[in-house]
Amino acid sequence: MSKGGAVAYLGLRVIEASLGVLAVTGLLVLLSPESAAIGLAIHKWAFLMVLIVFSVSTFVLYPFLFFYRLVPVFLSVWGFFGGMMLLLSCMLILFGWTVSGSAIDTLLSLPIWINEMVLALWLLLRGVKQQSFDHDLAVADE
């Protein structure tokens, strides 16, 4: 993966975090009865945008993990397709074909959420393959 890909992934994660802050801010507005409807609308919109940006970021992360074989191939492929399913779920919600928390939403979202937990455990317990980094450093030194 190029430096541009790494910057793109970082940028997507920063956008995701910023939208997450906006989603939480929308909940804080719920403390005031007169602005509860606006706060809830902001929260719902921002949270959906967080999920959309997250799913798009999977299209950067998982090909990187696959290309450099940093984790087992099945985790990379699973994450990539899980991200596609999450994006589909978000689009269905965005266009009003289903609602957040419905059975369809849950079924489409579940693969990436399970993958994220398995990937986290894998990285904590096994780490990444060191030879991938050694090869890249050798190429960079040439």
Q: Check residue 81 and give its pLDDT.
A: 98
Q: Check residue 136 and give its pLDDT.
A: 57
Are the CB atoms for 65 and 71 separated by under 8 Å? yes
Instruction: List all residues 6 or more positions away from 100 whose beta carbon is below 8 Å from its beta carbon.
Output: 44, 47, 48, 93
Determine which of 30-34, 35-39, 85-89, 116-120 has the lowest per-residue pLDDT on average: 30-34
Q: 50 pLDDT exceeds 90?
A: yes
pLDDT in tens, 86-134: 999 999 999 999 999 999 999 999 999 999 999 999 999 988 777 655 5
Q: Check residue 77 and give its pLDDT.
A: 97
Where on the phi/psi map is residue 51: left (φ > 0), alpha (ψ -120 to 50), or beta?
alpha
**Of 3, 129, 133, 135, residue with least CA distance to 75:** 129
Per-residue pLDDT band at 38 (split at 50, 70, 90) = confident
2 compared with 126, residue with greater pLDDT? 126
pLDDT in tens, 62-94: 999 999 898 999 999 999 999 999 999 999 999
Q: 60 pLDDT exceeds 90?
A: yes
Are the CB atoms for 120 and 64 separated by under 8 Å? no
The size of the chain, in residues, is 142
